[in-house]
Amino acid sequence: MKCLLCGQTMKTVLTFSSLLLLKNDASCLCLDCDSTFERIGEEYCPNCMKIGLSTKCQDCQFWCKEGVEVSHRAIFTYNQAMKDFFSRYKFDGDFLLRKVFSSFLSEELKKYKEYQFVVIPLSPDRYANRGFNQVEGLVEAAGFSYLDLLEKREERTSSSKNRSERLATELPFFIKSGVTIPKKILLIDDIYTTGATINRVKKLLEEAGAKDVKTFSLVR
């Protein structure tokens, strides 16, 4: 078996449980590549997992004032290795790389048994250009399905706007007509930075009737 990222051949160690359960829990990464990614440590904002502090961060206080109680979990930090990964996966469009983190993701996502998964969608143009939704790829590779509740409309570029202008603009996401909103939702994205997108979509789903919306990203 070859490492999905660097291509070097890996020694595969068959564990008793993988033989017994015929379960494919082998990592798709060699130890060298694996060691370049950094898992979020012990100290982080209890609401959003921002690292380096142990109380509610300023962003989460901001969201609280906006009526959103942030409840986010993530696995990895956005270090250089992760930036390189997303540049290959998203921008070079290497769909095979969706499997790189599947064992980590499956470990985390199986904790949300009572929740229906919903993925942050791409706009139609973005989807057409990339050919796939990178978040759907990650979730499917980890062995989970998701509900198709949301759509994203095209929006004009927002680079000229400042933060408050961006937050004030209309949300480009909407709920598809005729869908049923489940009570418990895990809303999934690839990367959480300010949380602007995912927390505004969380609020949208809560306003549409969801009782408990938690959020999740591979990277924070």
Q: Based on CB atoms, which residue is closest to Zn ion, 50 or 98?
A: 50
Which of the stretches 12-20, 23-31, 88-96, 172-180 binds Zn ion when contact is defined by CB under 5 A? 23-31
In angstroms, rounded to a whole number, what is the distance separating the alpha carbons of residues 88 and 130?
12
116 near Zn ion, judged by CB under 5 A? no
How many CB atoms sit inside 10 A of residue 178's CB?
5
33 counts as binding Zn ion under rule CB under 5 A: yes
Nearest to Zn ion of 54, 129 (CB atom) = 54
The least distance separating Zn ion from the CB of residue 33, rounded to whole angstroms, comes to 3
Q: Which of 62/127 has CB closer to Zn ion?
A: 62
* Residue ranges in 2-21 that form contacts with Zn ion under rule CB under 5 A: 3, 5-6
Nearer to Zn ion, 81 or 175 (CB): 81
The answer to whether the CB of 201 falls within 8 A of the CB of 63 is: no
Q: Tell me which of 27, 37, 47, 182 binds Zn ion, using CB under 5 A.
A: 47
- Residues 210 and 202: their CA atoms lie apart, in Å, by 9
The angle subtended at Cα 38 by Cα 12 and Cα 10, nearest 5°, is: 15
Taking the least distance from each CB to Zn ion, the nearer of 33 and 201 is: 33
Question: Least distance (Å) from Zn ion to the CB of residue 51?
Answer: 10
Q: Does 198 bind Zn ion (CB under 5 A)?
A: no
Would you count residue 100 as binding Zn ion (CB under 5 A)? no
CB of 181 to Zn ion, least distance (A): 26
Q: Is 64 in the site for Zn ion (CB under 5 A)?
A: no
Record the tokens describing residue 62, joined without a space. Answer: 């901001």
Of the candidates 27, 28, 37, 57, which one interacts with Zn ion according to CB under 5 A?
57
Q: Does 48 bind Zn ion (CB under 5 A)?
A: yes
Determine how many CB atoms are found less than 10 A away from the CB of residue 2: 11
Q: Which residue in the set 27, 37, 60, 109 belongs to the binding site for Zn ion (CB under 5 A)?
A: 60
Where on the chain is the footprint of Zn ion (CB under 5 A)? Answer: 3, 5-6, 30, 33, 45, 47-48, 50, 57, 60
